[in-house]
Amino acid sequence: MAIKQLRTLFASQYQPGQPARVRPGAALAEPGGDYEALHKQMKRLFNSKPGKKYGRFAEDIGESPFSSWLKDYLEDKQSFASLTDRLFGQWQELLNAAQEEFEGHLMVVHEALADADVVYLFILENDSAMRFDGDQALDATDVLSLSRLNLAVRIELDDWQANNGENYLTLVHARGTGEGGDLFIKLCGFTNQVDVEKETLTFLDAVEAFAKSSEPEKAGEVRTRAYEFCKEQHALGEPVAIEALSGYLDENQPERFKDFASQNAELPESGVLHPDHRKVKKLVRIAGSGGGMSVSFSSDLVNQAVYYDRDKDALTITRLPKALREQLQRYLEAREE
C-alpha cells in the first residue's frame, strides 16, 4: 500500500443557518508511516462495514461536479491541492445550508495499489478522551475514532476511466448519519445502481440449486465453500465474481458452477454479484428467534444432532453443548430445591 496524495479538512456546523467553519490541512505527497497506519485502519473499517452500496457517478456534474474535478486531476490538468480546494469549498457550501449540526474531518486519499489506483473520501469522527495535563489536572480532549466509520466512498479509478462496468463506486452510508450523510452523498456524486437485496437472493438461490444438484455428500461442502469465499471477499472489500467463485468451488472443473448459474439464474452482464455477507450466512447456519426462544446451529447438524419433525412441528436436539447442558442442570436443580 502506498499513499500518493492525502489531504484533510476539519469542518463544523454548530449553528445551522450560519457559515460552517473549516480548517484545511496541507496537501501531502507520500505522507509516510503515521498516515499510512491511519489509512490502513480506515480501510479495515471500510471493508468490514456491512450494508455497503454500489454505484457510479451521477451524470449531472452541475449538481455534483466532483467527478469532473477528479478527471482533471487524473489528466494532470490540475494539482491534487486544486482538486481538494474545490472539493473542500463545495463541502463548506453544502454545510452552510445544513439544518443539522455537523462536525468531522474529511480525508481524501489517492492510493496506489499493486494492480490499480483508488481514491477514498472518509468522514473521520472524534471520540472524547481524558488525560492529565502538565500540571496533573484532568483535562478532556478529542481524539480520532479508530473504531467508527459511518460515511466513506471508494472510487475504483481504473474501472471508471476504462468504463469497465457500472459499479466503480462503493459507498458506506450508515444509519443515523442524518442530513450530514445525505450531503456527503451529494458531495461524492454517488448514484445507486445495484440492488444488493436482489443480488443476495440471486447468489443464495444459485448456490443452493447448485448444491442440490451435486452429490448429496458434497452439498454441504458446496454451501460452506461458497460462504467462505463470500466472507473472504467481504473482508477484502470486494464483490463476488462468479468465475472466481466457480473455480473455488470446483478446482477440477472450474467452469461448472459458472455454467450452471448462467443457465439457472439471472446474472448481471458483468458476472459480478454484491451479496450481503450477513444474509449469505444462511448457507451454513439455520437460525430463528421469537416467543422467548433463540435457536442457531450449523446446517450440517440437521438429521445428525438436530432433528425436525414436520408433523409435530418439534425440534429434537442431541449432543448438547457442554455449557448449555450445565446451565440446564443448574436451573433444574435450583427449581427442585
Task: Please give, one letter per residue, the 3-state secondary structure of the chain.
Answer: CEEEEEEEEEEEECCCCCCCEEEECCCEECCCHHHHHHHHHHHHHHHHCCCCEEEEECCCCCCCCHHHHHHHHHCCCCCHHHHHHHHHHHHHHHHHCCCCCEEEEEEEEEEECCCCEEEEEEEECEEEEEEECCCCCEEEEEEECCCCCCEEEEEEHHHHHCCCCCCCEEEEECCCCHHHHHHHHHHHCEEECCCHHHHHHHHHHHHHHHHHHCCHHHHHHHHHHHHHHHHHHHHHCCCEEHHHHHHHHCCCCCCHHHHHHHHHCCCCCCCEECCCHHHHHHHCEEEEEECCEEEEEEHHHECCCEEEECCCCEEEECCCCHHHHHHHHHHHHHHHC
Q: What is the pLDDT of residue 60?
A: 86
Find the range with the poorest average confidence among 7-21, 70-84, 263-277, 282-296. Answer: 282-296
pLDDT for 157 beyond 70: yes
Q: What is the pLDDT of residue 158?
A: 92
Average pLDDT of the chain to the nearest whole number: 88
- In angstroms, the CA 178 to CA 199 distance is 27
Residues 127-143 have a mean pLDDT of 89
Confidence of residue 39 (pLDDT cuts 50, 70, 90): very high
Residues 66-91 have a mean pLDDT of 97
Confidence of residue 199 (pLDDT cuts 50, 70, 90): confident
Q: What is the pLDDT of residue 299?
A: 67
Residue 284: CA atoms inside 13 Å, Cβ hemisphere, count? 15
Residues 174-180 have a mean pLDDT of 92
- In angstroms, the CA 245 to CA 222 distance is 11
Q: How far is CA 329 from CA 9, 30, 75, 306, 316, in A?
A: 59, 62, 71, 20, 18
pLDDT per residue as tens digits for the range 206-243? 998 898 888 877 888 888 899 899 888 888 878 899 99
Q: What is the pLDDT of residue 165?
A: 62
User: Which tops the pLDDT comparison, 334 or 193?
Assistant: 334
pLDDT for 106 beyond 90: yes
Q: What is the pLDDT of residue 112?
A: 93
Residues 170-174 have a mean pLDDT of 95
Q: What is the pLDDT of residue 1?
A: 55
Confidence of residue 66 (pLDDT cuts 50, 70, 90): very high
Nearest to 246 by CA among 269, 232, 226: 226
User: Which tops the pLDDT comparison, 305 or 79?
Assistant: 79
Amino acid symbol at 208 = E
Contact between residue 204 and residue 276 where contact means Cβ atoms under 8 Å apart: no
Confidence of residue 92 (pLDDT cuts 50, 70, 90): very high
- In angstroms, the CA 230 to CA 282 distance is 12
pLDDT per residue as tens digits for the range 266-322? 888 778 888 887 888 888 777 777 777 877 777 667 776 777 878 877 888 877 788
In which region does residue 293 sit, left (phi positive, over 0), alpha (psi from -120 to 50) or beta (all else)? beta
pLDDT for 37 beyond 60: yes
- In angstroms, the CA 269 to CA 232 distance is 23
Q: Report residue 187 as a C-alpha cell.
A: 458531495
Q: What is the pLDDT of residue 79?
A: 97
What is the CA 14 to chain-centroid distance, rounded?
A: 29
Q: Report residue 164 as a C-alpha cell.
A: 469497465
pLDDT for 8 beyond 60: yes
Contact between residue 142 and residue 129 where contact means Cβ atoms under 8 Å apart: yes
Confidence of residue 186 (pLDDT cuts 50, 70, 90): very high
pLDDT for 153 beyond 80: yes
